[in-house]
């Protein structure tokens, strides 16, 4: 799970992060949920969507010149 890996990295860089672990996990859950909602909307509007990561994608649209 992406959230867990990022929490571990945060804990290594920020030793007191263990006290905020639930908060960090919650924020990553929200980010993932919002990303999924946006991707769902984009998939409804574009013929094809390539998802590269949780916050990056490529929309394939119909060429207006053809």
User: Does the pTM exceed 0.75?
Assistant: no
Q: What is the mean pLDDT of residues 7-19?
A: 59
Domain-located, residue 65: no
Contact 32, 2 (CB under 8 A): yes
The number of domains in the chain is 1
Give the CA-trace dihedral at 22, 23, 25, 29, to 10 degrees.
Answer: 130
Range(s) of the domain holding residue 35: 2-60
pLDDT of 45 over the 50 cut? yes
Least confident of 20-29, 32-41, 48-57: 20-29
Domain-located, residue 66: no
């Amino acid at each position: 799970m992406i959230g867990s890996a990022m929490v571990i990295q945060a804990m290594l860089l920020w030793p007191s992060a263990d006290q905020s672990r639930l908060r960090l996990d919650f924020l990553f859950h929200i980010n993932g949920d919002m990303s999924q909602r946006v991707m769902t909307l984009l998939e409804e509007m574009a013929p094809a969507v390539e998802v590269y990561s949780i916050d990056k994608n490529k929309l394939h649209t119909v060429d207006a010149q053809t």
